[in-house]
Amino acid sequence: KILELISRNDIETQEELSDYLEREGYQVTQATVSRDIRELKLTKLSMSGGRQKYVALVETSEDLSEKYTRIFRDGFLSMDMAQNIL
């Protein structure tokens, strides 16, 4: 429901998200909203006028593959194999 709400509304704060959820019939606390935001990997996007709103990050497998390739390329000087261990 959170993803639906943030896609339909410009929600700027956890308190505002809690209010929307309560209007939809959900009883929530700040702690559960905070945990849900973290688990859903929501982030804030800057809007005009200096305002921000919650949006969902969408990573495709291609994005992840590129990310992991970059980590290996930038994070290691060398690699050796020992049987089945890299």
* Residue 37 covered by a domain: yes
Q: pTM score, two decimals?
A: 0.62
Of 2, 83, 65, 82, the residue nearest 36 (C-alpha): 2
Per-residue pLDDT reduced to its tens digit, 7-41: 899 999 999 999 999 999 999 998 999 999 888 88
The first and second tokens of residue 70, run together, are 């970059």
Per-residue pLDDT reduced to its tens digit, 56-73: 877 555 666 777 777 777
Range of the structural domain that residue 53 is part of: 2-75
Which CATH number covers residue 71? 1.10.10.10
Number of neighbours of residue 50 by Cβ within 10 angstroms = 6
